Amino acid sequence: MNRSLYSLLWWLALPLVLGRLWWRGRKEPGYRRHVGERLGFYGPVLAPRRTFMVHAVSVGETRAAEPLVEALLARWPDCRILLTHMTPTGRATGAALFGKHGERVVQSFLPYDTGLLVRRFLRHFRPQVCILMETEVWPNLIAGCAAEHVPVALVNARLSKRSLRRGQRFGGIMVDAARAITTVAAQTEDDANRIRSLGAPQVAVTGSIKFDVVPPEAALEKGAWLRARIGERLVFLCASTRDGEEALILDAWGRLASKPANALLAIVPRHPQRFDEVAQLVAARGLSLQRRSRMDDGAVDADVLLGDSMGEMFAYYAACDCAFIGGSLLPLGGQNLIEACAVGKPVLVGEHTFNFLDATIEAVAAGGAVRVGDADALVAQAARLLADDAARAAMGAQAAAWAGRHRGATLRTVELLQRIIP
């Protein structure tokens, strides 16, 4: 595929894309807001200021970008950060994390990847550098930056074998995009080698910025408040669960006869539009439910706690006794286990962790995480940990030590960016 065909397909698909946007807005109203930005229409031109664009597509990338954004603001006191997203939850997360910086951090949706919309975007904001988080390779955006002489950095970059095969199927367009990226800061040597195989000319291994995310004090205080409501009950947290996993976990939890008495199952779905769906799954199994959004200062006495709040994942980790990281029971690639380890919690993961494969392998080898084969093995392992205070404490300490050893990627990334920022 070449870029002309790619752009034509985008234009042909645009009515369907906008229709899907409106459809998703039924459950998430944020998808119906700021639609003009997705089409390259923006408000008044901002006052002239050195602008660094950071693209963080959704919640995970936005949270991962926090130490980098803070470092950029500190290193270049005269700069403005243009934080772009593709999802309303990512935008909301960015507002929560960076609202304290006022006009130094502005937000926008990234326009759909056609030449015309990208040109509107670049000429409106005029960034001096385009920083893409993790896997966000957009061919027309990268080509547009090259045409406007804007250097492009792909940072905290990861590329699984599966994603590499997918990229190779697109042929020339992905190779051209990779070759046009000015510099790449890869998480691991394996990521770097796969990215080099696509043609990226400058690739360095800097580690994962996610290790530098520090649990906010307010989140830890919220976790302590939540823990006080839970009391002495032992808590098994299933974090960032995906469609299909909650039913498996609930059924396995119900079958398990050996779990500690009065243990609390907490479930935090990855996507907020599924909160009500998961609540229905719990009710269908005859279990009592407490929604986090409806909690007061009373005790949590339900069978299941539903984490239906945004931006509180660190609080849930702080309040639990052991944590399962979702997206890994089914072949979905898994989610980030670093935050749970950083809080010092023992971590359980399924077999499917290709999105975070190296980190998962290392965490397991360090004794901070355990891999399980299915939902029954998951809840059985959780029950064993909940019943063994010493084993749980030792595993949590190993998880925290492993996370601590990998800090420093943000500083290495900023040093790399200094070479390309005008």
Predicted confidence at residue 310, as pLDDT, reads 83
Q: Which two tokens stand for residue 99?
A: 């609202």
State the residue for tokens 């769906």: 277
The pLDDT value recorded for residue 421 is 92
Distance between CA atoms of residues 145 and 148, nearest Å: 5
Query: What is the domain partition of the chain in residue ranges?
Result: 25-208+408-418, 217-405
Whether residue 61 lies in the annotated active site: yes
Of 28, 37, 61, 339, the catalytic one is 61
Q: At 405, which amino acid appears?
A: R
Confidence band, pLDDT 50/70/90 cuts, at residue 20: very high
Say what the pLDDT of residue 162 is. 79
Structure tokens at 243: 């469609």
Band (287; pLDDT cuts 50, 70, 90):
very high
Distance CA 373, CA 274 (A): 25
Classify domain 25-208+408-418 at the CATH topology level: Rossmann fold (3.40.50)
Percent of the chain whose predicted confidence (pLDDT) is above 70: 100
Residue 408 has pLDDT above 90, yes or no: yes
pLDDT at 233: 95
Predicted pLDDT at 163? 79
Q: What is the pLDDT of residues 290-332, one digit of tens each?
A: 999 998 888 899 999 999 988 899 999 999 999 999 999 999 9
pTM of the predicted model over 0.75 = yes
Common-topology check for domains 25-208+408-418 and 217-405: yes
Q: How confident is the model at residue 172 (pLDDT cuts 50, 70, 90)?
A: confident
Residues paired with 52 in a beta bridge? 81, 129
When pLDDT is averaged across residues 9-27 and rounded to a whole number, the result is: 93
Q: How far is CA 347 from the centre of its chain?
A: 17
Would the pLDDT of 159 be above 90?
no
Is CATH 3.40.50.2000 the right assignment for the domain spanning 217-405?
yes
Q: Is the per-residue pLDDT at 393 higher than 90?
A: yes
Q: How confident is the model at residue 2 (pLDDT cuts 50, 70, 90)?
A: confident
- Quick one: pLDDT at residue 305? 97
What's the one-letter identity of residue 45? V
Pseudo-torsion of CA 86, 335, 236, 385, nearest 10°? -170
Strand order in the sheet with 322-325: 289-291, 304-306, 264-269, 235-241, 322-325, 347-349, 369-371
At residue 337 the predicted structure's pLDDT band, cuts being 50, 70 and 90, is very high
Instruction: Say which residue the tokens 């699984």 belong to.
Output: 160
